[in-house]
């Protein structure tokens, strides 16, 4: 970073020395997100407490032509907040206030550092919750969820983050503070709110959001079905949706995940099962049993060897605790893992999962699967040891082939984790150079200097070569 001493001096003058980190050991905490295979050390980390402070930090960055990146809970899985060109990381954890809860209009106004689950806990006694529920919801922040347009198990029925954000206060890449969207359901004019959500922090920094609150369902019916065949479990998923039943969630775990969970947490899952489905219905109690019976019939048609229903809310919570603890158990399987995040048509799940198994065998790299089966958002967990250079090389081939399969069957290369640095090389699998150039032109309008979270999303000429394609240069990135 050029003018490093002057940049740091200006930041200290603005925030005080306690809110500016420059020590190498302290900075190392911020060199990666939850995908530790990708690392980059920032030059400085600062803690902001207000939108005006964020604006002033951004203006200092512009003054010295210095890159800047916003960071929330650090739970991202695509390297989206890496400071790959150095510069300033703006930590938003202290902006964690719930500013307003308006149950009459079913909304809340929050700061970006609010932890996802804590918002639901703040309104649960009043009969509401915040619907998007990533597996990391105990730690991830809603500002980061907005940047990545995060989903979660209940995306199948309730949609992703963009379906629950009404308006945002945003510090633009030049430091100007603007409002997008508002407090009503629909705003006239261009949907710039929608453009900003999922832009992975490259269009600006969210400093406040008006979010939709969802009334708690009258009733739940949650079940776990055990299968001896991944094909049977996958076909059951497609048939449930094909019958017009839209569960609140429909999740799948394979044998490796089941074994890891049992070793780590002793949930009581059968370790000889090939697959487990967790299905949850919610809504009005009247008529729910009919849907439950239809699902049970489908499970029987596809040879489920047992089906267990949650008898009460405690058992329901235990099932979801198991599902959301999966990622915390993978240390039992390997020292390192990469979570892929493709999306495929539901009807192709059996084929895609078989192909993933073949890739695992081909490269002798173990792959576990735990994913949102209801909407085809697969999460192959590629297990390896980063100390073994040969394994790391094979893992690159594994990732490429998995994402290529997703593209080939008509899917895409990410459902909720974002592109970041992890998947930028694979963007040409989905988008033409003309497509990418249009996106880059839009980015240029919001972020003309390129200082706001640079080096993400867009492929380089080398990316095309890795895929065996004619290289292209995307301008304005």
CB 414 within 8 A of CB 403: no
Dihedral sign, Cα of residue 252, residue 142, residue 180, residue 452: negative
Do 307 and 364 belong together in one domain? no
Q: How many CA atoms lie within 13 A of 374 on its CB side?
A: 25
- Per-residue model confidence as pLDDT tens digits over 338-350: 999 999 999 999 9
CB 372 within 8 A of CB 250: yes
What CA dihedral angle connects 451, 453, 458 and 462, to 10 degrees? 80
CATH number at residue 115: 3.30.465.10
Domain boundary among 180, 215, 250: 215
Domain boundary among 32, 58, 91: 91
State residue 175's pLDDT score.
98
Contacts for 438-447: CB closer than 8 Å, 24+ residues apart: 440/474, 440/475, 440/476, 440/477, 441/476, 442/195, 443/199, 443/202, 443/203, 443/476, 443/477, 444/476, 446/172, 446/173, 446/196, 446/199, 446/202, 446/203, 446/204, 447/173, 447/202, 447/203, 447/204
- Per-residue model confidence as pLDDT tens digits over 396-422: 999 999 999 999 999 999 999 999 999
Secondary element (H or E) of residue 297: helix 288-301
Do 67 and 153 belong together in one domain? no
CA–chain centroid gap for 402, Å, is 18
> Do the domain assignments include residue 415?
no
Of the candidates 334, 343, 199, the one whose C-alpha atom is nearest the C-alpha of residue 256 is 334
State residue 37's pLDDT score.
79
State residue 184's pLDDT score.
78
> Do the domain assignments include residue 413?
no
Do 129 and 235 belong together in one domain? no
Strand locations in 156-300, DSSP E?
A: 165-171, 177-181, 205-212, 214-215, 219-227, 249-254, 275-283
Do 257 and 319 belong together in one domain? yes
Do 247 and 319 belong together in one domain? yes
How many domains are there within the chain?
Answer: 5
> Do the domain assignments include residue 384?
yes
> Do the domain assignments include residue 230?
yes
CATH number at residue 294: 3.30.70.2190
Do 205 and 264 belong together in one domain? no
Of the candidates 267, 263, 265, 264, the one whose C-alpha atom is nearest the C-alpha of residue 278 is 267
- Per-residue model confidence as pLDDT tens digits over 191-239: 999 999 999 999 999 999 999 999 999 999 999 999 999 999 999 999 9
> Do the domain assignments include residue 242?
yes
> Do the domain assignments include residue 363?
yes
Strands 306-309, 219-227: pairing kind: antiparallel
Do 341 and 324 belong together in one domain? no
Strands in 20-21's sheet, in edge-to-edge order, are: 20-21, 44-47, 88-91, 68-71
- Per-residue model confidence as pLDDT tens digits over 322-371: 998 998 899 889 999 999 999 999 999 999 999 999 999 999 999 999 99
How many other C-beta atoms lie within 10 A of the C-beta of residue 390?
10
Q: Is 431 exposed, middle or buried (0-12, 13-18, 19+ CB in 10 A)?
A: middle
Q: How many CA atoms lie within 13 A of 347 on its CB side?
A: 3
Domain that holds residue 164: 98-215
Do 158 and 235 belong together in one domain? no
What Cα–Cα distance (Å) separates residue 138 from each residue in 98, 110, 313, 434? 16, 17, 19, 40
State residue 2's pLDDT score.
85
Domain boundary among 174, 193, 215: 215
How many other C-beta atoms lie within 10 A of the C-beta of residue 434?
8
Of the candidates 202, 159, 149, 170, the one whose C-alpha atom is nearest the C-alpha of residue 418 is 149
Rounded CA separation 189/162 (Å): 17
DSSP-derived secondary structure letter, 343: B
Residue 118 backbone class (left: φ over 0; alpha: ψ -120 to 50; beta: rest): alpha
CATH number at residue 380: 3.30.70.2740
Rounded CA separation 79/101 (Å): 33
Do 229 and 323 belong together in one domain? yes
Segments of the chain scoring below 70 in pLDDT: none
How many other C-beta atoms lie within 10 A of the C-beta of residue 412?
17
Token readout for 204 is: 């600006």
> Do the domain assignments include residue 424?
no
CATH number at residue 77: 3.30.43.10
CB 373 within 8 A of CB 251: yes
Token readout for 45 is: 């980390």
> Do the domain assignments include residue 376?
yes
Please give the full DSSP string across 83-127, using - where no structure is assigned: -BTB-EEEE-TT---EEEEETTTTEEEE-TT-BHHHHHHHHGGGT
Task: Print burial letters for 305-336: b (CB count within 10 Å at least 16), e (below 16).
Answer: eebeebeeeeebeebbebbbebbebbeebbeb
State residue 185's pLDDT score.
75
CB 20 within 8 A of CB 8: yes
Rounded CA separation 289/223 (Å): 12
What CA dihedral angle connects 415, 470, 468 and 376, to 10 degrees? 20
Do 125 and 197 belong together in one domain? yes
Do 131 and 192 belong together in one domain? yes
Do 294 and 267 belong together in one domain? yes
State residue 35's pLDDT score.
82
């Amino acid at each position: 970073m050029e003018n490093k001493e002057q940049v740091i001096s200006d930041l200290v003058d603005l925030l005080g020395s306690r809110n500016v980190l420059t020590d190498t050991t302290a900075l190392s905490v911020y060199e990666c997100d939850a995908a530790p295979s990708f690392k980059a050390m920032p030059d400085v980390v600062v803690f902001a407490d207000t939108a005006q402070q964020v604006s002033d930090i951004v203006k200092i960055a512009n003054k010295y032509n210095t890159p800047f990146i916003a960071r929330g809970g650090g739970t991202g899985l695509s390297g989206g907040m890496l400071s790959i060109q150095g510069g300033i990381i703006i930590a938003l954890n202290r902006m964690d206030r719930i500013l307003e809860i308006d149950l009459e209009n079913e909304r809340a106004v929050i700061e970006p550092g609010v932890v996802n689950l804590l918002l639901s806990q703040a309104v649960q006694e009043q009969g509401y919750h915040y619907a998007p529920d990533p597996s990391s919801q105990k730690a991830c922040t809603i500002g980061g969820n907005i940047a990545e347009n995060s989903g979660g198990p209940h995306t199948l029925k309730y949609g992703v983050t963009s379906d629950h954000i009404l308006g945002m206060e945003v510090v633009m890449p030049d430091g100007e503070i603007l409002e997008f969207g508002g407090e009503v359901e629909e705003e006239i004019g261009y949907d710039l709110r929608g453009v900003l959500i999922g832009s992975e922090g490259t269009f600006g920094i969210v400093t406040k959001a008006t979010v939709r609150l969802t009334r708690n369902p009258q009733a739940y019916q949650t079940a776990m079905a055990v299968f001896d065949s991944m094909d049977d479990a996958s076909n059951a998923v497609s048939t449930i949706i094909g019958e017009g039943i839209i569960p609140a969630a429909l999740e799948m775990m394979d044998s490796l995940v089941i074994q890891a969970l049992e070793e780590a947490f002793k949930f009581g899952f059968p370790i000889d099962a090939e697959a487990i489905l967790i299905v949850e219905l919610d809504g009005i109690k009247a008529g729910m049993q009919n849907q439950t019976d239809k699902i049970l019939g489908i499970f029987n048609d596809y040879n489920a060897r047992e089906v267990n229903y949650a008898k009460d809310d405690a058992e329901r919570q235990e099932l979801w605790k198991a599902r959301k603890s999966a990622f915390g158990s993978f240390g039992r399987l390997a020292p390192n893992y990469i979570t892929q995040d493709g999306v495929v048509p539901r009807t192709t799940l059996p084929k895609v999962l078989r192909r993933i198994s073949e890739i695992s065998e081909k490269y002798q790299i173990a792959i576990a699967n735990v994913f949102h089966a209801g909407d085809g958002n697969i999460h192959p967990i590629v297990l390896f040891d980063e100390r073994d250079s040969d394994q790391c090389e094979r893992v690159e081939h594994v990732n490429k082939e998995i994402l290529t399969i997703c593209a080939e069957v008509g899917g895409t290369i990410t459902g909720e984790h974002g592109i970041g640095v992890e998947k930028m090389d694979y963007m040409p699998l989905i988008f033409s150079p003309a497509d990418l150039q249009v996106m880059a032109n839009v980015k240029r309008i919001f972020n003309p200097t390129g200082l706001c979270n640079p080096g993400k999303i867009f492929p380089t000429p080398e990316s095309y070569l890795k895929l065996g394609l004619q290289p292209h240069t995307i301008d304005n990135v």
